[in-house]
Structure 1
């Protein structure tokens, strides 16, 4: 493939674009100095500029691991501990998949967010469980909130995809502000996950798809980057060929999916999300936990919130989906929710 490398002139031109505001004009000399440092980091590929020795818990104790990756790994470990702590009440993660928000260009909140709030209220009112809303609209409205695209390391070799993802941040390429290191522990801690998303062009919203792709490391990813000495593709291929167990880091949790559209595609999007979650060995929390509906079918977008207001049945169905998830989580914790076939050996690892 053609090289994406930039020469110094083009790199610095792009780097300076973030300082287009005339308010930065008086700092031109300082910006030039900063750009020179950034160019040096780029030329020398300083992806992870702050590292420490891995230590005895890793396959290669002498390997230099990113301190940012280690912090993300530690956060996931702590979240897993909370998930496994039977003395704690189980928690539920509710994901607002819409990118629409009144805090930026669209000028009003999304229907998905309203439905997420209904789900949260239903869980609190009926089960007194703690739930957290992960509002993915923040990637469009909040400074420094990004979900970078998956680089598809898994397609090269499973062991090359690290858990958590080690592709980001990449400081030499300016690929920073990655939100996934905060999102991974949220998924890990949750005993139940509920995704509420609109249909965008026969598919999920952009933030949901970005999150989905970046969760590939949770399904077969390698928890020890020293095994592959970072991103050594040849080494990773050999490790996989020698036998890889494809660890399912999110297996055993329950899920609910709610998809709403206005014209077409809701059923297909709901099915694709449910299939994805099942593939990662999450389990649906019953038939009422999976829902696809149309709100304001073929009606003007300008009145879509009014259409939701006039459709109390949809709101109640979303609340029922949330309650099904909460009930399932409680039953699973108590040992009453049996997952048929969970004791069977996988015929195919991946």
Structure 2
């Protein structure tokens, strides 16, 4: 067994520091009338934190798991069952074709910017085009992270770097009730990805990179590429057990492989091509299938022009709108071919010499 390295994590919070952090969410004087009740809630929260009550509601895993008697989070089990149902529906040849449109911009008119994002408008074009191709669509607007109450995509904790089997499919790191890491949106997002036959990511460039809501989702999808569907095989987060499993030989299952993808990346100065390449490489690595050269679009809008006029620039970008619609048409064509059993990719069926 390889050595498990320790020593980085700080000590748990002391009582007073915990209280200060808890109370910061209730600084509004409107809470003064219930301050006593909040003190009681804070006391319970402290006890749960101190006891490490990550998953306070559990149930036996049952048949089909390595350890049927192991107590799994009831919330994780519910998510897992929804994913199984979505996968069953997705693979049913008689089910309608579905596409997932992902809006990567952080801007919307319900938060500080006060205006819709250009990416949202592009998604409407793609949705109209897919509807004309008889493709049902589901829109995942990641800007809701910036405008919705207590909605989160918590960051990836990097379990895969300790050992791949420690990274569970779907992610079991959240919710962690003891540390108030709750309302994790990924439980729903995994289901949207599984249910889709194809995905289009539409996103702007922020500082040469993906916007933070999009990057949070990307990192949390690591469990879709090699993740362990049986947390009982590692008895939760037992690093030694996970290392032993990986060293014995791990298959790195690709849970989203075979779905089609398209990309629309736009910028105003730089970074559009590099981000498009990064996203394409990531999706292909996970086993998704590019819908073709015209389905991977990167363009500049309002190059070095005023941000204030950016929507007006988009109004006049007729060729760009046509290109976005072509991405959607290409995705629809790719979905149709994949669903008939056509692998599309010439190298399909050739096992990689170094799976990971």
Q: TM-score range by the shorter chain?
A: over 0.9
Contact 1:255–1:325 under 8 Å retained in 2: yes
Local SS of the residue matching 1:55: coil
Give CA deviations for 1:8-66 in whole Å, capped at 9, x if unaligned.
Answer: 11101111111111111011111000000000000000000000111122100111100
1:337–1:157 distance in 2 versus 1, CA, 3 Å: closer
Aligned length: 349
SS at match of 2:298: strand
Q: How does 1:1-350 map to 2 (within 5 A)?
A: 1-125=8-132, 127-336=133-342, 338-350=344-356
Q: For residues 302 and 138 of structure 2, what CA distance do their matches in structure 1 show?
A: 28
For residue 337 of structure 1, report the CA deviation from its aligned partner.
Answer: 5.3
Q: Which residue of the partner structure matches residue 5 of structure 2?
A: none
> In structure 2, what is the Cα distance between the partners aligned to 1:105 and 1:250?
35
Unaligned segments of structure 2, at least 5 residues = 1-7
Question: 2: distance between equivalents of 1:57 and 1:288?
Answer: 43
Q: Structure 2 CA distance, aligned partners of 1:197 and 1:105?
A: 19
- TM-score after normalising by structure 2: 0.97
Deviation at 1:336, TM superposition (A): 4.3
Rounded to whole Å, the distance in 1 between the matches of 2:94 and 2:211 is 36
Listed one character per residue, the Cα deviations across residues 176-234 of structure 1 (whole Å, up to 9, x for unaligned) are 01000000011011110000000000001101100000000000000000000100001
Unaligned runs of 5+ in 1: none
Q: For the aligned residues, what is the CA RMSD? A: 0.9
Aligned-residue offset at 1:342: 1.1
Distance in 1 separating the partners of 2:35 and 2:50: 22
Q: In 2, Cα distance between the equivalents of 1:304 and 1:5?
A: 47
**2:46 partner SS:** helix
